[in-house]
Structures are given as C-alpha cells and as structure tokens.
Structure 1
Amino acid sequence: MTKSNRSDKSKSSSSSSLLPIPATTLCFDKNEFMKESFSVDHFVADCRKRVQLEVLRQDLEVYFKLLKNAMIELINKDYADFVNLSSNLVGMEKAIGQLRGPLQEIRHEVKDVNEVINKEMKDFELALEKQKALSTRRKLLGHMQGLLQAIEKIEHIQRSEDSTMGQILERIAGEFNQLQHHTMYCKGLPVLNLIRPRISSITGFLQSSLEGELVKGMAELEATHIHRCLNSYALIGKTKDAEVLVRMHIVKPHMQQLMEEQHGDLTIPSLKSMFYKILNVVPNHLRLLCDITSGRKNRSGEQFRGIPGYDFVVNSAWPEIVSSLEQHLPELFASRDPNIFHKRYCTCMEFVDKFERQCGSQASITRLRQSEAFHALMTHWSLPVYFQIRFQSIGGQLESALTPEIVKTESEQDAFRLQASLVAWQSVQMCWSEDIFLPGLLHRFWKLTLQILSRYGTWVKMLHNNEVLNKSPSSTDMDKVSKSIAQISGLVIDLGTIFDKVKQIYADKIEPLAKKQGLKDTSILEDALLELLNNLTKYKEDFVNHMITLLSSLSVAYLKHTQDVPRLYRKTNRPAPTEPSQYVNGVIKPLKLFKEELHPHIDSSMVSDWITQIASTVSEKYYSVVTDVLTSVRKMEESLMRLQKMRSAKSSSGNLASLAGGSDALSDDDKIRLQLFLDVSNLGSQMKDCTVNLDSISSYQSLLVMVTEAKEKRFKAGV
C-alpha cells in the first residue's frame, strides 16, 4: 500500500468517525457523502434502484436532523476554542512582516547563484564541443594519413619483384581492406578527389590480376594458386565476383556444350541423359573449388584452411543451369499435353533432388531453395494450368457417367456393379495415381477428391428421390421391377465398396503423401473424408427397404396362382397331389436370384437378414391368400352337404358323395387342402435353403399350422 493510499484511508476513517450514527437503518451509506467523487445524480440514481424517491427523501430528512444536532453538540463542546479563535490570531500579521525581509534576501542570493552556475555550464558545453570537433578532425587526419600510407604501401608491393603474383595479390588484398576502411571515412574530403585516380588504378589492377590468376589457376588445377586467389577475393569482400567468374569461365562453357548436344530434344530419355551430364559438372569441374573453400582434402591429398563466404554450387552452377534451360529449352515447360508435362516435371524434380544432394550442407540447400534462380525455375512450371487440364478431364469423365439412367458395368469381374460408381472410383484413383499426382498440387487434388465424392453423393441423392420417393414400378410390370431391383442392389453394393476403397486409398496413399509434404496433423483431412462418406451412405438403408419392397412385390405377384388350386381339383377327378405347385418356384425365384447376386459382394448375414424380411412379407400375404382359399373351400363344402340333405337321396353321384365326404376316398376339397399343404411346406423348405430363419417368421408358422389343420379337416374360418 502506497503512502497516498494510507493517508486517504486514514483521512476517510477520521472523517467517518465524526459522522453521527443513525438510530434506524437508512437506504444509503452515510460514508458516501465524504467521498471526493461524490455526485448527487449518481447518488440519487443508485438509491432509486433500491427504494422509492419518497423513502429517500424521508431518510435524507432524518439524516439531516442528525447532522444538525451533531454540529450543535460539537460547537457546545468546544465553545471556548471557537471564541478564542480570533483572539489567538492577534499579532500574526506583524510576525509575518518580520519574516518577509530575510526570505526575500535569500531568494535574491539563490537567483544569483543559479545564474553563475548556468554561465559556467554553457562555457563547459562549448569547451566540450570544441574538444569533440578537434577529436573528429584528428580522426579524419588519421584516416587521411592511413589512406595515403595504404596507397603508398600497395604501390610499393606492386613494384616488388621478389614474390610471385599470387603472393603479391594476397598482400595487396590485405592492404586493400585498410584502403577501403580509410576511404569510407574520407568521403567528401578534397584529398579523396586528388588520390581517386590512384585508388581506381589499384582497384583495376587488383581485379584484373585476380581474375587472370584465378582463371589460370582453374585451368591448370593449381590448388595453392586457387586458394590464394579465393582468399584474396574474400579479404576484399568480393566473393560474389569470384563466384560470377567461375560461372562464366567454367560452368557456362560446359552448359553451352550440353545444350548444343541436346539439339532441343525434349524426349524423356534425352532429358534424363542431359540432366545426368549436368549433375556431373559439379563433381568434375567444381569439386576442387568446393574442397578448397570448405577445408576438405582434395583428390591429390592437399588440404587448405577453409574460406567462408563461398558457395559455388548454389551461386555459380545453379544460376547458369537455370538460365541455360530458359534460353535453350523453353518448350520444356509447355503444359499443352498433361501427360508429357507430368513426365518432364517429374524428371526435372528428380534432377533438382539429386542436385541438392551435391550441396555441402543443409544451410547450402536452404540458400538454394531461397535463391532467385530456384524460384524462377519453379515459376516456369505452370502447375495451376496442368491441374486445370486434369480437372476438366476427370470432371468431364465423371459428369458423363452420372446420368439419370442407371447403367451397369460391362464386366462382371469389376468390384462395382454400376458404371457411375466405377467411374467415380476411377476418378478418385486418378487424382492420386503416379502418372497424374504432383506433390505441389496436393491441396488441389485433395479438394478435387472431395468434390468427386460430393458430386457422386448428389447423384445418389437424385436416384433416391427418383427411385425411392417418387417412382415405384407397378408390381404388374415385372420387367421394370426386376430391372429396378438389379439397379438398386448394384447401387447398395457399390456404396459399401466405394466406402471401403476410399478409406483404403486414404490410408495407403493420401495420408502418407500429406505427411511427406509436412502436414503433421492429418485428422482434419480424415474427418472431412468420413463426413462425406457418411453422407454418401446415409441413403443406403432407404435403398435396401425399397429393394425389399420391390422383391416382395415380385414374389407376391405369383401368389395369385394360389386361387387357381381349387379349379384344378374340383370336378376334375385328378389324382391326389404329391408335388407342390409350379407357382411356388415363381414365388421363391426372386429370393434365390437376389441371394446369388449379392452373396459375393455383401456379408452373408446381412443378405440373410434382408431375405428374411422379404420372406416375412411374402408369408403374411400368402397367409391372407390361403385363408381366403380355404374359407371358400369350406363354404363350398358346406353348400354341397346342404344340397345332399335336401335331395335326401342315398344314390347321389359319386362325385357329389365324395365332395360331401360320404366315402373314405379323398374328396376334391381334401385334395385342395393337401395341395396347399404341399405348397406351403415346399415354400418353407426353399426359403430355408435361402438361409431364411423360419422360426423368426411368425406369419409363416401360423400359415403352416393352418394348412396342416386344414389337411386334417380341422380348419375353421378366422383361425
């Protein structure tokens, strides 16, 4: 707590102790009046939030009376002090007048001292400025003297004949640094203009001599000679000049020769051969320079002190290589044919990777990738144009396949049953195939993959609306129903297949490529892909239910032949049935074909579940039909019995007697019941062969019980 805070706190506490304590609770805090920031408006507004204005007024009147009484008590208590207050101030003015004179004298004395100090400070500052100026001039004189001495020393070294040219240049380079240092401080001085011709002469001599000696040393592969020249260039801060010299005298002639041998041939084998020869330029012609500057032993076993600041691979070889490709092979970067462009680009990037391995360090590789020449080479490869061509090709192929008309694949060996699904999967594969994908377009091909799946999902949604929601082929149109079932079953198979295959290609190709490109967290990619795939398969259940409905309609259509069974036996004298009716095979045929078509592609338990649902629907309808037939048979039987009683003739025709059950032979109605029993039993047997769980179908169990009881003449209507 600061000193001011403590004083404010003590002040407020002392002030609050003087305030009277009200007998009753007020709607406000009495200490609010003692605050320096007290505001009437804020105080009233704050109180209005708690009480009405009338209550506030009453509390203020109460508090006012308390304050008034407290003030009267305070005056009465200290009345003597109040009365003596004026008398205690008598003579105070005279005392103040006596102090005024000495205080004014002190004020004048302080003022005089202040003026003296200011004058002395100004004089001192002027002396310091003069001293600083003298020091600056002394330094300039020193630099001028050093400049003249450096020039004279360099000119003396130039005239010396007791050393080799390499040694002379190395000594001059060491002194040239001093010359440059002094020249920088002497800019604008007349002396510099007088000796500038001598400096220019020295500079020209040094540059021409170094250039000639370096070229001579590289031609003769004289390591010591080259080391001195490179060291001299480093001493005068002209390493870039040495690198340019190496580029012009070593790299450029070899590149021109290679380009002339190429004759503009852009075939892949020829390009690979050219890049191979370019890669050999560094180890064959720049190896000695790199060994000398890095301090490594050269091929002859010599080792020199390293010279920092040089990178001949990046600054000499690479710019000339890029420049030669731009000038002599501009068609290399053409993107008209995407297949050729892809091969050339991959060949060039393979060359770049191998060239990076020839860099001496990771820092050298970084300098290479950040260089203007590297950026220029990458810019020449029009990757966006290439992707646009691929996008149009892949997208056009997909759009042509996603038609409202469902087309099956030509080959039964394909994993997909529909042509649209096959093309959608092939489009995804094309995005990540080695002949199409490029690492620099990873984000674009990923987006295209999502677009392909989204477009396929839109097509599936359209089929869902057309086939499931809007169109339901009539059960009488068997060809359309069969075709629709085949199409929908193929789509159901394809939805599962494409779900599995896309997840597989993501795990095998897409995710490794993304991580190779530096993407550490690939969960966002996987989440986006799974969201699309889930949207793609959300209609699968509707398609399955619709397919079950259509299959049920095919089987149920044959159940109408059940009503023909009574006509086959009534008054026909046909023998008792021993085989099921032919229509039973028609009822079970759609289930068998459905199972045969789906079994190799979908889990058998799932197929069995679907077939069981179809069998349940068919059994319910069959139960209704058989109930009607048995009811009709029973009524006919009862009518014949009444007719027999009415005639009261014991010599009725044999057929009438048999129908009435008057003999031990099977009547026509018994044959009908037996035929229905055989039909229902055979249907159950065939459904069981189709992996249908009959115990789970209550309607079939009721049907079987009904025909069994009817065969034993215990059927009753409504059972």
Structure 2
Amino acid sequence: MADLAVAAPPPTDLFGEPIEAHPPWFKPDSFLRPDFDPDAYVADLRSYVPLDSLAAELRSHLASLRAELVGLINRDYADFVGLSARLKGVDAAAARMRPPLAELRDKVASFRAAAAAGLAALRSGLEQRAAATAARELLELLLDTSHVVSKVEKLIKELPSAPSDSSNVEAVSGDKGYSGNVATPPNMDDGTDVRETQSILLERIASEMNRLKFYISHAQNLPFIENMEKRAQGATKLLDGSLERCFVDGLEHRDDKVIYNCLRAYAAIDNTSSAEEIFRTTVVSPLIQKIVPQNYAKVVAGVSSDDLEDDYEQIMQCVEKDCKFILEISSLANSGLHVFDFLANSILKEVHLAIQKGKPGATSPGKPKQFLKNYKASLRFLDFLEGYCSSKPAVTKFRSEPAYADFMRQWHVAVYFTLKFQDIAGGLDSVLTATITPAGMHDNQAKPQTLLLKQSVKLLESLQACWSDDVLVFSHSDKFLRLSLQLISRYTTWLSSGLAARKASDGGSSSPADAEWALSVPVEDFIYVMHDVNAVISELLESGQFVEHVNQLLASCPTEVLALVKHSILQAVEPLKELLPAIMNVMIMVIVKRSNEDLKHLKGITATYRMTNKLPVRHSPYVSGILHPLKVFLEGDRIHYLSEDDKAKLRRGSTDKITSIYYDMVSEVVTVARKTESSLQRLRQGAQRRVGANTDTSDNIISDTDKICMQLFLDIQEYARNLRAIGIDAREIETFRALWQCVAPRDKQDNIQF
C-alpha cells in the first residue's frame, strides 16, 4: 500500500473558506438518490452544458472519489486487513439459519391465504345480506303500495254511502276534523251529516293518497308499480271528483267544518291550485260578474264606464261579506292551510280577468286622468287585500304570486309617464321657443310671487304638475324628480343661450332657435327676466314651497333619500343663480352703448379750442346726455319690478363702465393734444431761430392743451354732479379719480370738489 497517496486537503481562499470544486450545475448528491437515472440526468444537463464539460467534470469527480477511497483505506487499514480473518464460519451459520426462516415464510403465506379466503367469504355474506335487506324493503314497499291502493279504493267505494252515526265516523276519522270556532275536531256525538262525514273521509283518503304518491316515487320503473299506476290514477281521478263536489257543496252551504276538512285534503295531496280555482269559479266569479259586466258590447255602447273606483268599493264589500270566511279558515294557526292563497289566486285573479274582459279601456294609459285614477284605486284595493294577511311573510308571499304580478303588469305606468313627460316637457319647450311675452297678472294669483313672463309661469306650472295628485305616481317618483330637474335645466339653458346670443350679437354670428328671443326684445324686457329668475329661485330654494311640498309627498322615504332629493333640487337651481350677473350685464352693456353715443362728441373739444383764444366758461352740452340713457332706464315704468339691491347694482355697474370709457376717451384726447402741442411748439421754435427772433414765450399765454383740459375739467365736474343726482358718489369710482387726476389743475389734484 506504499503507492497509495494521502488525499490532499481541499483548497481554500484568502479567508480560509473552502473553494467549490465543482460548477453550480454539477450536483454530486444526485448520484446518491435511490431514483437516480443516468440517461435522464445526462439528457437534462446536455441542454445547457456541453458533453465535453460534463465528461471532464465526471472524470474529475471520479478521481476525487478514488482519492477519498484511498484515504479511508489508509485510515482503517488494520481493520481492512483483518476483515477476512473475522469472517470465518459465517457460511456455516447462515446455512443453519436458512431452514427455520423458510419454514416461517411458508406458515405466514398459508395463514395469509386462509385470512384472505375468510375475508372474501365474509364480504360475500355481507353483500348477500344487504341484497336480502334491500329486497325485503322493496317487497315491503310494494306490499304497502298495494295495501294503500286497496285501502284507497275501498274508502272511495264507501264514500257515497258514508254513515252519519258517530261510531262509524269515529272509526275512520280519528282525531282529524274541524269543529267549534274552526279550530278543534268536530263533536261527532251530536251526529254528523253526510256532507261532513264525506269531508272527513276525503281527508283520510287524501292522506292515504299522499302516502301512495310517496311509495310510487320511491319505486319507479318496476313492473309491479307500473301495473299499479292505472289503479292509482283511477283512484286519484275519483278522489279529485269527489273532493271537488264536496268542497263545492261546502262552499254553497257555507259549512266551515266541511271546508276546513276539504282544504286539509287538498293540502295533503298538494293540489292547492284546484281548491283556489274552485273557490274562484264557485264564489268569486259570480260576485264579480254582477259588479263588472263582462259583455264587451255593453262597454262599447257606453252602458259601463271605465271607472273602477266604485267597482272596487263593491268588490271590497263582497270580499268582506262573502269571502272573509275562507280567508279566516286558511289563516288559522297550526292548521297547515297557510299554503293556500285565495287572495291572489282566487280574488285578485278573478278581478283581473273581469277588468280585462269587461273594462279593457280602464287600464289604457291613452286616457291619463282615467288611468291614474284607476291605478290608484287598484293600489288601494291591493292594500285592502293585504290587510287580510296575518303576517309580513304572508304579505311577501301574496306579492310574489304570479296573479299579483299579472295584475300589476296590466298597468303600463312607464307608458303613462312617457305621455306625461311629452305633455309637460313639450308644453314648456313650446313656450320657450316662442317669443318672450309678459303674462297677465290674473295668471299668477296662486303663485307665491308674481311672475311676469309666460315662460316662467309655465316652468312653475310644469314643476307643480309633476308633483300634483292628478299626475304623480309614487312608484315612479324618481322619474318625476328627474323630469323636474330636466325642466329646471331646460329653462336655465333657454336663458343662458339667449344671454350668450345677446352678447355675441355684435359679432354677427348665428344663434340657436331658442335664443332668438334675446335678440328681438328691447333691453327693458330683461327687467322682467331678472325679476322672474329671482322669483323662480326664491320658489325653488328652501324659502319656497316647492321643496317642502316634494318632501311631504315623499315623507315615507328614509331621511337619507329626502336629503338627496332636496340636495338635487338645490343643485339644479345653482346654474340658474349664476345667470343673474349675466342678465344684469346685458342691461348694463345696452345702457353703456347708448351713453357712448353722447361720449363721442367729446372729441369735438379739440377742434373747438385749437388755434383760438376762446376760453371755456361752462361745461359742454354732451355731458348732460351721458347719463341720460341710464336715467331713462331707471325712471321707466318697469323698473319697480327690480329689487332695490338690483337697482343699486345696475346704477353702479353702468356708471363704472361709462366712467371707464369716459376716462379712456379723455386720456386719449389729452394725450393727443399734448403731443400735438409739443410738435407745434418745436416747429415754431425752429422757425423763430432761423429768422433770429426771440424764442421766449410769455408765461401768460394759455396753451391749447390747457384750454382743452380746462373744458374737460368743467365737463367732469358736471358729470360728477349728474352722478350725484342719481345717487352715485363720483369719488367712490376709481376711474373717476383717475379722470380727475388727468384733467384737474395742479392746485386741485388732491381735492375732488364739484
């Protein structure tokens, strides 16, 4: 073993950590896995590792394994050498142990075979037992089915000749029946007539038929059951006929006990619809036909009107008098009769059919007033029927019945709303597209504040129509609220379009059709517009009655809904409030435009005092005409329709703009005059220098610019006095102060006096 080299320690880095001898993709641990597959290993690595690199890495790994093996042998060389000496006699010991182990293996195999045979026999026995049990159950089911069919047939045969003595009845009735206040079994000791006895037997037969249906449903597709089905169907037919006759007889004689037993029988065989239909045709239909004639020829001839209110009153009296008894029976506690719904499937269904046949025009939305009156009467009738429901679940069940849905489906409320929408919205739109015209005072006596324009009157009338009793349908109140908001928006759009067209009229651009009114009316009519907008806002805001009226109609809604409704109306009015400054601006701009015609004469002052010795002694004539349009406007016969606040805004806005224009024109005149004066003076001085004349000028000579400024100063003083005459202090106008500074003498610059 001298040629065996000692394995070298693994290489380390600067920090003493061992350096990985293999690349990351080579995992020596993979060779130690029990499921290692060399072919799969090579196929997996060759997709991204060259075979030469893999072979080199495997040879390197093999060399390291050999080196490790040599190291282990050198470490335990003494034990390795003595291994063969310690293995002497092992073969003999193994030979002695082999026979007992073989014998034990044979015994275990035979025991396992015996246990498997026993388990198979046990399983076979259990399967046979289960099959026998299933067969016995099926046989019992078939026997029970046959017994029940025979019993039903026997009871049906005994039905026509049912005895009335108490002993026989007790034998077939047991503890079933109806007596007293429709709550306890009948007292058979006093004797029971044939009708009551038959009802008790029918209830008994019905319970047996229920069992029969249960048995047949659990034993389908069996020849025996298929043969029994004909007998079962025959028995069912006989039971239905006998039960119908007994139930009709009980209804005709108003026998509570018989009705109670028959209803229990119908409930037992799950045939509630037949009982409801029999009650409808036997009791309800004759009563309704007397109230609502179903001869359409009479309807066409005008014998019967489409009004349903009186008919509903009579129907409710009939229900109270002739139908209440069965409603009380079917609503008894612990009776099991809650499955019946005579309200919907008998009474309401018959009323629906009677209206369809006798008064088809009553549900036509083409006559809105009649339709709404009948619809509200129908809702009151439904409320009357719901009064017979004993609990909230009963009301829910009543409303979920198909008859209830069919009855409500005949009322085309959506079509009615569409017609009303066209009527209300179309009426307002036709007025808005017409020429603006004042409304008569007699049209507005019912309004909280007098309106002056027919457009404004129509708006409030339309809004009030949306929430009037003869228009509003509560179930569609959300649509009527939306219509109200659309009406307000339409009115606002009409105003804004007109104001925009008026503002753009100077540019000559075309305007929409609903804005022509603003171009054709005099500016004085905008007083009406301003007044009406304020009045409409006052009516629609919290101080008005409109929001309060809407909230009263929707008082049954949650508080959150009322708050949203109120907020939506107030939000719809906000754009209307924002138009007030624009309306005021239209009037101001017209007044300013008229005043500007007189202000143009100001430019003639320059020619008056140019190259003359004339001095100004009084204000110019044009000054009196500057504020004349504003005075005429404020003294007009319509101005009293504006509030004092609006009058003040009109005066101040007009005078501010007029003064601003006045300042611009004066500033331009003075500037041009000074430039001209300066140019002339330079020319004069140049000419004098050429001829050698004295260039000095006397200080006593007043220049043309000074004369112009003196005249303008007199003019603005008169203008200030005119402002004071209409209630405006000129010193409060910023542009007037600038105007004063422009033309006033130096010693009066800081003291505005006029």
Quickly say closer, same or farther: Cα 1:516–1:266, change in 2 above 3 A: farther
1:255 matches 2:288: yes
Quickly say closer, same or farther: Cα 1:386–1:481, change in 2 above 3 A: closer
SS of 1:582's equivalent in the other structure is helix
Equivalent residue, structure 2, for 1:179: 208
Equivalent residue, structure 2, for 1:243: 276
Q: Runs of 5+ in structure 1 lacking a partner?
A: 1-17, 47-52, 54-60, 297-303, 475-479, 639-658, 662-667
Pairing 1:573-652 to 2, within 5 Å after superposition: 582-586=624-628, 588-589=630-631, 592=634, 596=639, 599-600=642-643, 610-611=653-654, 613-614=656-657, 616-618=659-661, 620-621=663-664, 623-624=666-667
TM-score by length of 1: 0.68
Cα distance in structure 2, aligned partners of 1:612 and 1:42: 96
Quick one: which amino acid aligns to residue 255 of structure 1?
I
Quick one: which amino acid aligns to residue 313 of structure 2?
Y
Which region of structure 1 is more displaced relative to structure 2, 489-498 or 24-33?
24-33
Report if the CA contact (8 A) 1:439-1:517 is conserved: no
Equivalent residue, structure 1, for 2:684: none
Quick one: which amino acid aligns to residue 682 of structure 1?
R
Pairing 1:37-186 to 2, within 5 Å after superposition: 76=71, 79-80=74-75, 84=80, 102-103=104-105, 106-107=108-109, 109-149=111-151, 151-152=153-154, 158-162=161-165, 163-184=192-213, 185=215
Candidates 469, 472, 476, aligned match of 1:437: 472
Candidates 308, 316, 322, aligned match of 1:271: 308
Candidates 242, 245, 267, aligned match of 1:208: 245
Candidates 410, 415, 421, aligned match of 1:380: 410
Cα distance in structure 1, aligned partners of 2:663 and 2:738: 9
Report the alpha carbon displacement of residue 380 of structure 1 after superposing the two structures with TM: 2.0
Q: Deviations over 1:649-689 (max 9, x none)?
A: xxxxxxxxxx999xxxxxx99995785365133133135x1
Report if the CA contact (8 A) 1:416-1:422 is conserved: yes
1:701 matches 2:740: no
Quick one: which amino acid aligns to residue 113 of structure 1?
A
1:362 matches 2:392: yes
Cα distance in structure 2, aligned partners of 1:21 and 1:599: 103
Equivalent residue, structure 2, for 1:684: 723
SS of 1:122's equivalent in the other structure is helix
Pairing 1:405-444 to 2, within 5 Å after superposition: 407-411=436-440, 423=458, 426-444=461-479
Report if the CA contact (8 A) 1:554-1:590 is conserved: no
Q: Deviations over 1:675-718 (max 9, x none)?
A: 5365133133135x15x6842x22223445677648x8999xxx
More helix by share: 1
Report if the CA contact (8 A) 2:206-2:269 is conserved: yes
Q: Deviations over 1:201-224 (max 9, x none)?
A: 5654444234223312x2xxx555
Report if the CA contact (8 A) 1:558-1:583 is conserved: yes
Report if the CA contact (8 A) 1:239-1:310 is conserved: yes
Quickly say closer, same or farther: Cα 1:461–1:270, change in 2 above 3 A: closer
Quickly say closer, same or farther: Cα 1:21–1:364, change in 2 above 3 A: farther
Quickly say closer, same or farther: Cα 1:209–1:314, change in 2 above 3 A: same
Q: Deviations over 1:394-444 (max 9, x none)?
A: 4433444455x8735445878667665665555454444433332343444
Equivalent residue, structure 1, for 2:327: 290
Cα distance in structure 1, aligned partners of 2:17 and 2:104: 59
SS of 2:308's equivalent in the other structure is helix
Quick one: which amino acid aligns to residue 215 of structure 1?
E
Cα distance in structure 1, aligned partners of 2:288 and 2:92: 108
- How much identity, in percent, do the aligned residues show? 18
SS of 1:282's equivalent in the other structure is helix
Quick one: which amino acid aligns to residue 257 of structure 1?
K
Quick one: which amino acid aligns to residue 593 of structure 2?
S
1:554 matches 2:594: yes
Report if the CA contact (8 A) 1:468-1:543 is conserved: no
Equivalent residue, structure 2, for 1:14: none
Q: Deviations over 1:510-560 (max 9, x none)?
A: 667678578965777777767766666667666666664444333333223
Report the alpha carbon displacement of residue 582 of structure 1 after superposing the two structures with TM: 3.0
Q: Deviations over 1:564-599 (max 9, x none)?
A: 789999999999789996325416427736994774
Report if the CA contact (8 A) 2:716-2:740 is conserved: yes
Quickly say closer, same or farther: Cα 1:407–1:331, change in 2 above 3 A: same
Quickly say closer, same or farther: Cα 1:534–1:491, change in 2 above 3 A: same
Report the alpha carbon displacement of residue 328 of structure 1 after superposing the two structures with TM: 0.5
Quickly say closer, same or farther: Cα 1:631–1:239, change in 2 above 3 A: same
Equivalent residue, structure 1, for 2:694: none
Pairing 1:476-491 to 2, within 5 Å after superposition: 485-486=523-524
Cα distance in structure 2, aligned partners of 1:291 and 1:463: 68
Quick one: which amino acid aligns to residue 160 of structure 1?
P
Quickly say closer, same or farther: Cα 1:391–1:676, change in 2 above 3 A: same
Cα distance in structure 2, aligned partners of 1:338 and 1:491: 34
Cα distance in structure 1, aligned partners of 2:91 and 2:370: 115
Cα distance in structure 2, aligned partners of 1:309 and 1:290: 12
Cα distance in structure 2, aligned partners of 1:534 and 1:91: 112
Pairing 1:319-398 to 2, within 5 Å after superposition: 319-398=349-428
1:281 matches 2:311: no
Report if the CA contact (8 A) 1:485-1:550 is conserved: yes
SS of 1:169's equivalent in the other structure is helix
Report if the CA contact (8 A) 1:295-1:307 is conserved: yes
TM-score by length of 2: 0.65
Q: Deviations over 1:601-660 (max 9, x none)?
A: 97677657645643552553475388589989x99xx9xxxxxxxxxxxxxxxxxxxx99
Report if the CA contact (8 A) 1:147-1:182 is conserved: no
1:467 matches 2:506: no
Report if the CA contact (8 A) 2:660-2:736 is conserved: no
SS of 1:381's equivalent in the other structure is coil
Report if the CA contact (8 A) 2:163-2:194 is conserved: no
Report the alpha carbon displacement of residue 316 of structure 1 after superposing the two structures with TM: 2.5
Cα distance in structure 2, aligned partners of 1:305 and 1:713: 109
Q: Deviations over 1:297-328 (max 9, x none)?
A: xxxxxxx9895444433332221111111110
Quick one: which amino acid aligns to residue 592 of structure 2?
S
SS of 2:366's equivalent in the other structure is coil
Quickly say closer, same or farther: Cα 1:443–1:314, change in 2 above 3 A: same
SS of 1:682's equivalent in the other structure is helix
Report the alpha carbon displacement of residue 91 of structure 1 after superposing the two structures with TM: 6.8
Q: Deviations over 1:113-154 (max 9, x none)?
A: 213311331132112211321233134324433553565466
Cα distance in structure 1, aligned partners of 2:102 and 2:370: 106
